[in-house]
Amino acid sequence: MAFILESIEIKKLWPEQNRSQKRFEQVYGLYSFEDSKGYLRLCIEKKKKNIKPLYTFNLLVEGYHLLHKLVDEYQLCPKLCFLQSSNIICQSFAEEKCKGACEQKESASEYNKRVMKCIDYLEGQLPTFALVDDGLQKDQQSCILIEKGKFYGMGYLPSEIDVYQIDDLKNYLTPYAENDYIRGIVFQHAERYPYKVNELMC
């Protein structure tokens, strides 16, 4: 928790004499939106502050690798996922991998069902858990929350509280902005001390 707080303060205060973690972090996100014709579309863009991504990547190539995989597995249209120019014939439709959503030969409702299955799969890959340890006092326990693969926040709980329901847990925690460094140290700690990990019900 001390390392997390240090990272939060460095990012917030940007101290002149502290060079640790003072580097530009280019993070990309996979987003979904509905177009004017009712089709759900997937796209990769630089991470936005006010829009929650479905998935995040450190490198752009990682994002496109995953998106290509999802397009193949769920028979999504590469043109509707911005993997192919809208000005040319859909190669996947010619190869009978795309069902023609890009040409409106497949209804938006049918196409969107597969997109939602894709989104459900992604969310299922992102873990939600709490790292619970001793608190500062005997009647406390410390808690760090990871929600769908992202650092939510941390704080202290009464020792008698059972950590199972995420909404109840959030009442005791302070939300913080996350970054790659924080996620990394939390996941490393969870791997090193698995007995501290509590799986949560969302």
Per-residue pLDDT tens for 51-98?
888 888 877 888 899 999 999 999 999 999 999 887 778 877 777 788
What is the per-residue pLDDT for 83? 92
State the residue range of the domain holding 168: 127-199
96: left (phi > 0), else alpha (psi -120 to 50), else beta? Answer: left
Q: What pLDDT is recorded for position 53?
A: 87
Q: What integer pLDDT is reported at residue 97 of this predicted model?
A: 82
Q: Are residues 57 and 105 in the same domain?
A: yes
Residues 115 and 146 in one domain: no
Shared domain check, 98 and 161: no
| Amino acid 67: pLDDT | 94
The answer to whether residue 86 sits within a structural domain is yes
165: DSSP letter: B
Residue 82 included in any domain: yes
Q: What is the DSSP letter of 195?
A: G
* Three-state DSSP class for residue 198: strand
Residue 96 has phi, psi (to 5 degrees) of: 65, 30
pLDDT of 161? 80
Taking the C-alpha atoms of residue 109 and residue 106, their distance in angstroms, rounded to an integer, is: 8
Residue 119 and residue 44 share a domain: yes
Residue 22 forms part of a structural domain: no
Strand blocks (E) in the chain:
28-34, 40-46, 55-57, 129-134, 140-147, 150-158, 173-175, 197-199
Same structural domain, 119 and 131: no
Q: Both 112 and 139 in a single domain?
A: no
List of the chain residues with pLDDT < 70: 15, 17-26, 201-202
90 inside domain: yes
**Residue-level pLDDT at 26:** 57
Number of structural domains the chain divides into: 2
Which residue has tokens 């140290």?
185
Q: pTM, whole model, 2 decimals?
A: 0.64
- 120/140 same-domain check: no
d(CA 151, CA 177): 8
Residue 166: per-residue pLDDT: 87
Last residue of a domain, one of 74, 96, 125: 125
Q: Is residue 5 part of a domain?
A: no
